A and B are shown apart, each in its own frame.
Chain A
């Protein structure tokens, strides 16, 4: 159990010509379960590998329990790592795989046996101890990989997309097992994934990373609890990355800044009211409105007079995706770059090329500046309300 502290961590593979990771500051508390999430290639694995010592830290300081570990080789850091490919030693049995590290450390035979047995019991691996990895299923291998780090009693567990090689059903099951394991062992854990659901369900806190944009100061976008990221994304990147399908973004300009309510005008002309604090911005500046598909409301029917209602726009149905219990309606609207997506429960009964009136509830809207930073929201987000 330990605290991990990252202080201005940066990484470059080519002596500073291009940076993969820049200026990441992060404090992970004792017993916490933290997930790193971000699109492919943004440097999640690299960051994790720097924590366990498989990659050099180009600049910055890394502490575990207050101890500077920049120059420690991997095994001195006392961390355990579970690889995406499991990395089980193919020529050793499960028991040997788990005991390898202890043997290298010249631990007592009895201690090795005791720890291996205990881990095997915890992970229900007892009947498999004498098998070779080749003769096991993906889920079993996964457990062995976890067992291998458990026996070392590491201060921190590191997982690099441990579930991505499993099928969906197994992934759900293993997710729950991991969650239980963490509740039992309470070891500080860092978990890399690109699956939001995994991150949201497992983690106490989520770290969102983005591919480093040229000129950006850092590629750490936001750190926070799962719901915090959902409801209060700090910027456009996080807003767009968290949630599925993606949040809708509508281009607009600020018509009347305000501390509690702001009025904006879409590029297509409609005026909307949003519960966000824009007092620091000037009238007329470019802004972006964000609203999640599940928060957009459909008006009962396409009556013309509803245009007059607050926060309503008219859009044309482009495509429909009907999943049975819910449907996604893709709408064309001039202020949106691609589509405006609306989620409705039930099988959407609309047709293509229908004109629909949609309501954007002011308290569910997010507002971002042209630079992509979020204006703080002034009202507690209302509970998700969906309609058919």
Chain B
């Protein structure tokens, strides 16, 4: 069948609106094309291609009859593609670069920055007088030949500013306002340092001492035969881009800022060989697996027991119990986690207060490794058991009552009921859900970020790494915590996690399929 049905449906949905659609799509395309050109001009090839690709798909889908069926899925797929697939691919791409706060820009941008660097060269100098006029200031400059220039007015300055200067008319003498004394000029020095004065002939002047302004010169100029290599106009030394480190270098020293370059498998090698990363990485990996597995086991046991219990009719008031038991799931997780963070607080927390009162102990929940880990597990079990309970209730309802009646006739105990009937019957449909739950906990960033922030810190790590960190929160910290954000390394770890998650997803699909068949 395929396309046939699709264009068939399309036929009945065309009543003269098609022209309108084409015009609309055309307009959107024009806007997008303009944007794409801009992106291309700025060197954002990846984004230009992405937009172009999506635009082409969109236009085809909404204009062609054969694209009719895809009109319904296109917007959704667009969202999935833009916010899941593209970031995924982009992340994998970054994993092979040294992208990070030290190497943020492209090579061209860094070259431009170097080429724009200036110094005051000192040949020729302009004496100056500073005038105050109301809240503003202006300068009068005088060169060696006695020509005078007056600048526009400026206030107090905190960032670089360039202002124009014009020849001073001999009669006006530039004397509106009062000239300031040397002491006051020193006070204004920080403002004056920010100034670049553009003379009528185009040269820029900067402060070159307490009493004079001097002309600016470019520090570097590009070599003609290889425009990427820069020559220092002062010393004649050359600066060339090091494509391995992502910095311009003169052979010994690196000159910032860095640019991002492809570094191949370096980030991955780093993970597996650099002891400052490898050690924490494996520790964190092991903990992540233990954490996810234990979370699943604990929540499953508690959830299953509770489900059995509140399904038990003689108990009475089951509805109320159920609601109270679901409460941890109903409260937004970020609030509950923060509540626990407060309750477990070493000094001010209510839990330690109680323990102190009852047993006279005050465990260091956040600085002791084992305690921190147990706390994370306790909180996660608290958060997660209602979900398991809900699932278990749903599955238990599907078990026919007569099985239990039959087993009662055989004289089975409740425990035997559970192990011989209940668990074997629900384990099949439950397995894919348990795998999904494992995957969820594997990536449970919110819990760690809000509860411990990863701490207590691991010793001997060159990157921020903590005892309770999961792989995701470790990645998150490498990428976004203030010191030395290393996007490349973070993306490399993320790529490894993609592989693990992909494996889990594949496993889940297989298990689900097997469950459906058998």
Contact = CB atoms under 8 A, between A and B. Distances in A.
A56 B8 contact: yes
B236 to A, nearest CB: 75
B4 A73 contact: no
B1 A73 contact: no
Contacts of A56: 1, 4-5, 8
Interface residues on B, range: under 10
Contacts of A74: 12
B4 to A, nearest CB: 5
A74 B13 CA distance: 12
Contacts of A75: 12
Interface in A361-381: none
Question: Chain B's interface: helix, strand, loop or mixed, by majority?
Answer: helix
Interface in A23-42: none
A73 B12 CA distance: 6
A203 B349 CA distance: 86
B117 interface: no
Contacts of B5: 56
Contacts of B513: none
Contacts of A14: 1
A56 B4 CA distance: 8
Interface string B1-40: 1001100100110000000000000000000000000000
B11 A71 contact: yes
A296 to B, nearest CB: 49
Contacts of B12: 73-76
Interface in A1-38: 13-14
Nearest to B2: A15
B11 A13 contact: no
A74 B5 CA distance: 13
A13 B1 contact: yes
Nearest to A54: B8
A76 B14 CA distance: 13
Nearest to B12: A73
A228 B148 CA distance: 123
A76 B11 CA distance: 11
Contacts of A71: 11
Nearest to B1: A13
Interface in A201-232: none
A370 B1 CA distance: 38
Contacts of A76: 12
Contacts of B11: 71, 73
Contacts of A73: 8, 11-12
Interface in B436-486: none
A11 to B, nearest CB: 11
B470 to A, nearest CB: 48
A121 B266 CA distance: 84
A76 B5 CA distance: 17
A16 B5 CA distance: 16
Interface in B319-369: none
A74 B12 CA distance: 8
Nearest to B13: A73
B331 to A, nearest CB: 36
4 A-B pairs with the lowest CB-CB distances in the bound complex, closest first: A73-B12, A56-B4, A73-B11, A56-B8
13 contacts: A13-B1, A14-B1, A56-B1, A56-B4, A56-B5, A56-B8, A71-B11, A73-B8, A73-B11, A73-B12, A74-B12, A75-B12, A76-B12
Given A13-B1, A56-B4, 7 more contacts: A14-B1, A56-B5, A71-B11, A73-B8, A74-B12, A75-B12, A76-B12
